[in-house]
Amino acid sequence: MQTITKEIDISDVTKLIADGQDLSIEVASESAEKAVLSGRQVDLDAINVKNENSELSFSEIKSENSLCLECNHHPVKLIISDDKLTEIRAENGAVINIGKGLQNISVLTADNNSNINLQDAIISGLTVASNSRSTIDIYGTVSDTTLITNDGDINLDNLNGNTAKVDLSGNNSRINLSGKIDNLFVINKSSGGENILNCIDLQNKITTIDATGKIVVVTGETDQIKLNQSANVNLFYTGNSKIIGGLDGSRFLNYQNVSRTEFLRSENEIESEDNSENNRLFIRTNGNYFILNRGKLLESDFEDLFEIFQSTVY
């Protein structure tokens, strides 16, 4: 089916909103006074476009034809100037895929089963919020960032800079981080469910955790980990990280990420030992090899944390 284009006046636009489960938008950057929307006629006809109060909004128009033969909508493409948008929001099942070039974005929000995918990012000072079973994936370089989730997921593959703030005060949320930063601040005030922060591929100097709600945290190479005294944390750490606080309600488990050769050698050593206690446990997942060290944990806690670690780093 032939692709057609529409020009859109974007003189005052700073915010993009996509609303609707059948709406999928690919956003690309290009210097121009007007934005260009392109796609199949049937897909463009199913989208209501508004430009009001500096917001460029796209919402789906429901077909009244129950026998619609073209209701399997295809993505449409929006080409917009790289200096226009500072905020992008997906709502109610919408999907937004953002390509290279939009470097002025300061806020990304996904609500109610929506998805945002940001590629080739080079952004500083970004706030990311994922709520109600939504997912935001960010690839590229992002610094000095605030991440907020409430029953949502955020995946960020190259975090850097001085500081990142993570707020998992909602329930049943997951954040995966990789990269290298100085300071990571984690807040978890959830009243139910269990949140997960997986930083196994993140290097940082200090991780500070303020957690009154239940949370699983896997740190990477970290010099120091600070917890509030009453923190409710299942904490997995590697190396010789110094842990301060968190003695009242937390459990700590040391792990090693090792080579396949070292993993197999250690497994063989354990099998040859005449020892009824399991002081080390072994996990292979996604091409990685881990050894978990029991330390002073009770055997029941050790086995429980083994299961949690395995499900967190899958």
Residue 276, token pair as written in the block: 């009824």
Q: What is the pLDDT of residues 171-193, one digit of tens each?
A: 889 999 999 999 999 999 887 77
Q: Are 70 and 61 in contact (CB under 8 A)?
A: no
pLDDT at position 68 is 55
pLDDT single digits (tens) 199-254: 999 999 999 999 888 899 999 999 999 998 878 899 999 999 999 998 777 999 99
Higher-confidence residue of 273 and 285: namely: 285
The tokens describing 159, both together, are 């975090």
pLDDT of 62: 77
Query: What is the reported pLDDT for 166?
Result: 96
Q: Which residue has the higher pLDDT, 218 or 8?
A: 218
- The strand pairing partners of 149, in sequence order, are 130
Query: Is the pLDDT reported for residue 276 higher than 60?
Result: no
Q: Domains (ranges, CATH) in the chain?
A: 1-104 (2.160.20.120), 106-249 (no CATH), 254-314 (no CATH)
Has this prediction a pTM greater than 0.95? Answer: no
